[in-house]
């Protein structure tokens, strides 16, 4: 008589997450990654895999630093809401109260743009990488914040203000340079340069010493790679990375991280570690202290664009600095409604599921595979985590 054996236990979260990381590395979809998972405020998995610099044979380490691209928006949005809590900025007052010269027009007429419009990408602004090569932002020489245009933040915003708005503010969602304008608002409200303001408002109070607008330790900065076949290629300096069919791509220059003259792009210009980003996300998830009261932190995570859709992202709304999940089935994701999510073009993704008290930070050095909606990696990690923790 055959002896019955118990079925094998389900794979642990660590095993499932590591399988996703190892599979992406083996398939040569990513070069290296740092993945951190916390639940109830405790680290339940941390893993560094692959190479920080493939050509040099340098292994990826958990303390690696990365070019953050749009993960920068999280830090700047937090700094902004700290100032709102202090009364130095107002979400719904026209921004000309602080930036009188930033007054782009719609249909030839002046319009009121608010800080809320900027943080939710409903101001009518755009990004150059989302328009054709002969588009108005390209013609005006506007930088998206990841190249080295050799101009100041003030000059970039002067050029941006001269481009007509895409729509009446508040009527549509269009991912945009709005956070770069917010960076100038922060400077105007504090009297400080943006790097010093973000340090004083966010990274300093939380002890996040590995994140800012300049590189702190060049030896820890991961090299940058771009999707290619049969394996990712090392990025050129500068580079044009394909993003959407029919559009020229994203202008990126990894050497910007070493350029002290590069203007501080609030939407794309920071450098930092996965651990620092995790600590900021957990601070906001747990109510925002010591950066801000719980009210402004909760406002960041509220869907601000009810009635508006994000083209190409069904099921998602938008808060103050990141997307907010409305409908998991429509979005085709495993997270709980109310989850916050965003990432960065250099190959990063993160999410916070407040209902499950769960936070993921996944930084890679591979654009665009590691980015939220950039490739399989982010979605595979999410499915693996939820398969392990259950409903």
* Residues noted as catalytic: 70
Buried b (16+ CB within 10 A) or exposed e, 71-94: bbbbbbbbbbbbbbbeebbbbeeb
Beta-bridge mates of residue 53? 58
DSSP 362: E
Cα dist. 261→102, 126, 228 in Å? 23, 24, 31
Please check whether residue 148 is in contact with residue 116, taking contact to mean a CB–CB distance below 8 angstroms: no
- What lies within 8 Å, CB to CB, of 104 at 6+ separation is 111, 113, 124, 125, 160, 161, 162, 163, 164, 165
Q: Is 9 exposed, middle or buried (0-12, 13-18, 19+ CB in 10 A)?
A: exposed
Record the tokens describing residue 95, joined without a space: 């921004």
The counts of H helices and E strands in the chain are 12, 17
Please check whether residue 185 is in contact with residue 99, taking contact to mean a CB–CB distance below 8 angstroms: yes
């Amino acid at each position: 008589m055959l002896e019955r054996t118990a079925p094998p236990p389900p794979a642990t979260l660590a095993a499932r997450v590591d399988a996703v990381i190892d599979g992406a590395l083996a398939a040569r979809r990513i070069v290296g990654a740092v993945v951190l998972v916390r639940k109830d405020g405790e680290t339940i998995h941390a893993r560094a895999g692959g190479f920080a610099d493939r050509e040099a044979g340098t292994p990826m380490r958990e303390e690696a630093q990365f070019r953050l691209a749009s993960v920068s928006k999280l830090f700047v949005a937090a700094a902004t809401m700290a100032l709102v809590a202090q009364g130095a900025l107002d979400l719904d007052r026209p921004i000309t109260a602080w930036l009188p010269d930033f007054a782009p027009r719609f249909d030839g007429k002046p319009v009121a743009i608010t800080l809320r419009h900027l943080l939710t990408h409903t101001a009518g602004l755009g990004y150059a990488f989302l328009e054709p090569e002969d588009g108005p932002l390209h013609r005006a020489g506007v930088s998206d914040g990841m190249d080295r245009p050799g101009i100041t933040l003030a000059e970039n915003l002067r050029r941006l203000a001269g481009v007509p708005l895409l729509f009446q503010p508040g009527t549509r969602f269009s991912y945009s340079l709005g956070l770069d304008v917010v960076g100038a608002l922060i400077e105007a409200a504090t009297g400080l340069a943006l790097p010093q303001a973000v340090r004083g408002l966010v990274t300093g109070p939380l002890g996040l010493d590995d994140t800012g607008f300049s590189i702190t330790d060049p030896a820890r900065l991961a090299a940058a790679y771009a999707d290619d076949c049969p394996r990712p290629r090392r990025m050129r300096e500068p580079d044009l990375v394909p993003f959407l069919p029919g559009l020229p791509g994203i202008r990126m220059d990894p050497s910007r991280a070493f350029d002290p003259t590069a203007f501080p792009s609030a939407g794309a210009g920071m450098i930092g570690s996965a651990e620092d980003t995790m600590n900021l996300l957990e601070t906001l998830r747990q109510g925002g202290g010591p950066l801000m009261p719980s009210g402004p932190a909760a406002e960041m995570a509220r869907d601000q664009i009810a009635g508006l859709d994000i083209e190409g992202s069904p099921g998602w709304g938008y808060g103050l600095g990141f997307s907010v999940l409305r409908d998991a089935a429509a979005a085709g994701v495993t997270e709980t409604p109310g989850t916050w999510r965003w990432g960065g073009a250099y190959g990063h993704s993160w999410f916070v599921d407040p209902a499950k008290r769960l936070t993921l930070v996944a930084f890679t050095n591979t654009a665009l595979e590691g980015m939220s909606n950039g490739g399989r990696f982010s979605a595979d990690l999410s499915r693996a985590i939820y398969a392990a923790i259950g409903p």
